[in-house]
Structure formats: structure tokens, C-alpha cells
């Protein structure tokens, strides 16, 4: 039984997960990048900006000492911005114990290499057991105890089951899945579709268009996933369809907000300046487009998104093109 857990990263998702596990009686050490953030959390026990109203139990301790944090336990949750995964893994590596379980709760694809985050962790952390947690899970709702389901994925199903046991509790139901590739691809590529959902909203299209986009979007995500070894049915699950639904219908998604601006006629540059935050869907579009080209996978929505974002194509023309492709059977 796991009694101590390390959480690398003190964003809202990291804090929500730390709080959940602490409530189960597990002792938690959170590593924060920021001295100031660590001080606030240790003193106030609440991070008012990120998760107002969530008071961390006394068995949660926050540190900025990476050695202290990593050596604290053999169950390490990584929940840092996706493009900092490799550099964070490198600073963790010297201190991590052999056979530790490392759970990646960040989502994305490494820019430049196109690698899955679990593969980045495999490369940097030797002799560890890698798993990921994914699914429709707004941190704010998890922190409030609103019923939430996720999937714990690992190539080694026994590792996935240990992770399931550690997290599962009344408001948080965890399923296992050994298709880590499918789970990570779904988590990373959903932001492309969220961006496109925003574009549709920006143009003024309706629910029919968005449902079509999501349904055909998951179909092409699955095609790319299968081409790199994922199982198709994973995309019908919580980390695929489930997470896609939450992301595309959320008012809070930056991807959707950026998309709305683009749908209204702004350029990518203008939209990003206005949103003022990292819009993961942009890099995900680039990564997926390049993978699809390399592997010869047909991804009509991603291709149109790529051409809108990077070649200045017209958004309405893109929708017309998608609607007027050759007639098709749904499942072939």
C-alpha cells in the first residue's frame, strides 16, 4: 500500500490531485518551482488564485527542494507544463529510486521530436514504471468532489492497477487501460479539435457542426493513433471522447477561445496575442500534421486547421472543403 506520494508541479491539477490523495490519508510532498508559491501554500494552505476554497490537509507539505521531494516517496506524479517535461525529468533523475512508479498527468506531445510525454519520461528516467492519468477532469470540479472518472494507463497493466488503487475514491473513479499510446494521443490531439470547435463558434455555426467536428475529429485522431500502435477503441473511452467532450464544451478552454477569435477573422498571431496564454492546440496541430504526413494518414480536419493556422487559409472555405469531400462510408 502506497503511503507517501510526491507531486512534481503545483498548478491547479497538481494541487487538486494532491488534495484528493491527502484526503485518502496519503502523505504528500509537492514540489513547486516557485519559492513564493511554496511559501503561500505552506502558510495559507490555500492557493486562492488557482483553486479558491480548497484547503490543503495538514499531511500535504510543499517544498522547492527537488531532492527532498523526489526522495520522499517511490510514487511520483509529474504534473508540469507539457513542454517542460524533459527538463523536469532531467532534474528528477538523479534522485529517483529504482522501480519507482512515475505517473504523468501532463498532456501533450514534445515539440520538435513529436514524442509522447511517457516516452520522454522513459528516456530520462531509467528503471522506473511509467503510467499516465487522463480523462475528463477539470481540476476545479475534482477539488470540489464532483464525480469524475479517469483512466490510468501503462504498458504494464499491473502498474496501471496500482495507480488505480492509489487514486480511486468515492468521487474519483479510475479505470485501467494498457494502451498508453492511445490514451496520450487522445489527450494531446483533443486540443486541435477544441481549437476547431472554437473556430466554428466564431463563424457562428451551431451544435450540428460542432458534434460533426468532434465525431469526425475523434475518427481521425484514432487513425493517427492506430498508425503508431494505439488501439482504436481507446479513442471511444474517457481519454478520447470523454476528454474531447469536456474540452470542446468548456467555456474556459484557451484553445476554444483562440479558435473563436480565428473564426471571427483574426490571424493566429492576433488571436494568440489576445488570449495571452499558451494555446496547446496550435503546437498539437503542427505535431499531428507532421506525423500524419510522415505516416501517410488522412487527417482532413487537422490538415484544414494547419492551413488556417500556418498558411492563412480562409476559415469558411475550409469548412466548405470538409463538407464537400468525396462521398464516404462512415466506418471505412
Catalytic machinery residues: 190
Burial 23-42 (b: 16+ CB within 10 A, else e): bbebbbbbbbbeeebbebbe
Min. distance of Cβ 305 from a second copy in angstroms? 15
Residue number, 30 or 214, with CB nearest to a second copy: 214
Q: Are 199 and 263 in contact (CB under 8 A)?
A: yes
Min dist CB 321 to a second copy, Å, is: 11
Query: At closest approach, how far in Å is the CB of 172 from a second copy?
Result: 8
Pick 39 or 233: Cβ nearer a second copy: 233
For residues 96 and 315, which CB has a smaller minimum distance to a second copy in the complex? 315
CA distance linking residue 286 with residue 288, whole number of Å:
6
DSSP letter (8 states) at residue 61: E
Give the 3-state secondary structure of residue 65: coil
Provide the binding-site residues for a second copy, judged by CB under 8 A.
Answer: 135-138, 141-142, 144, 146-149, 151, 157, 161, 164-165, 168, 170-171, 173-177, 179, 205-212, 214-216, 218-219, 222, 231-238, 241-243, 245-246, 249-250, 319-320, 322-325, 327-331
Half-sphere exposure of 278 (CA within 13 A, CB side): 8
Give the three-class secondary structure for 102: strand
- The neighbour count for residue 53, using CB atoms within 10 Å, is 9
Q: What are phi and psi of 14, to 5 degrees?
A: -60, -45
Nearer to a second copy, 114 or 171 (CB): 171
CB of 263 to a second copy, least distance (A): 13
Contact residues for 119 (Cβ-Cβ < 8 A; gap 6+) = none
Amino acid at each position: 500500500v502506497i503511503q507517501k506520494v510526491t507531486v512534481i508541479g503545483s498548478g491547479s491539477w497538481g494541487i487538486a490531485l494532491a488534495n484528493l490523495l491527502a484526503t485518502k490519508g496519503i502523505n504528500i510532498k509537492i514540489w513547486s518551482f516557485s519559492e513564493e508559491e511554496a511559501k503561500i501554500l505552506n502558510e495559507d494552505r490555500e492557493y486562492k488564485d488557482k483553486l479558491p476554497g480548497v484547503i490543503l490537509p495538514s499531511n500535504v507539505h510543499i517544498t522547492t527542494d527537488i531532492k527532498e521531494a523526489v526522495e520522499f516517496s517511490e510514487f511520483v506524479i509529474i504534473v508540469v507544463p507539457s513542454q517542460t517535461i524533459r527538463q523536469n525529468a532531467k532534474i528528477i533523475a538523479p534522485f529517483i529510486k529504482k522501480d519507482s512508479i512515475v505517473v504523468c498527468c501532463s498532456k501533450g506531445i514534445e515539440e520538435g521530436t513529436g514524442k509522447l510525454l511517457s516516452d520522454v519520461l522513459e528516456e530520462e528516467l531509467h528503471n522506473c514504471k511509467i503510467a499516465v492519468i487522463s480523462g475528463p477532469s477539470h481540476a476545479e470540479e475534482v477539488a470540489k468532489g464532483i464525480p469524475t472518472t479517469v483512466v490510468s494507463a501503462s504498458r504494464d497493466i499491473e502498474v496501471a492497477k496500482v495507480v488505480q488503487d492509489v487514486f480511486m475514491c468515492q468521487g474519483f473513479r479510475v479505470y485501467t487501460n494498457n494502451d498508453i499510446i492511445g490514451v496520450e494521443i487522445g489527450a494531446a490531439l483533443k486540443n486541435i479539435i477544441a481549437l476547431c470547435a472554437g473556430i466554428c463558434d466564431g463563424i457562428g455555426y451551431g451544435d450540428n457542426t460542432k458534434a460533426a467536428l468532434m465525431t469526425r475529429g475523434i475518427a481521425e485522431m484514432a487513425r493517427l493513433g492506430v498508425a503508431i500502435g494505439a488501439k482504436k477503441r481507446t479513442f471511444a473511452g474517457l481519454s478520447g471522447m470523454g476528454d474531447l467532450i469536456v474540452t470542446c464544451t468548456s467555456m474556459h478552454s484557451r484553445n476554444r477561445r483562440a479558435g473563436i477569435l480565428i473564426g471571427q477573422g483574426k490571424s493566429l498571431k492576433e488571436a494568440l496575442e489576445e488570449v495571452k496564454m499558451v494555446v496547446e492546440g496550435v503546437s498539437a496541430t503542427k505535431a499531428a500534421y507532421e506525423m500524419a504526413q510522415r505516416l501517410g494518414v488522412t487527417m482532413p480536419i487537422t490538415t484544414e486547421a494547419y492551413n488556417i493556422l500556418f498558411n492563412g487559409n480562409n476559415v469558411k472555405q475550409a469548412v466548405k472543403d470538409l463538407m464537400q469531400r468525396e462521398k464516404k462510408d462512415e466506418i471505412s
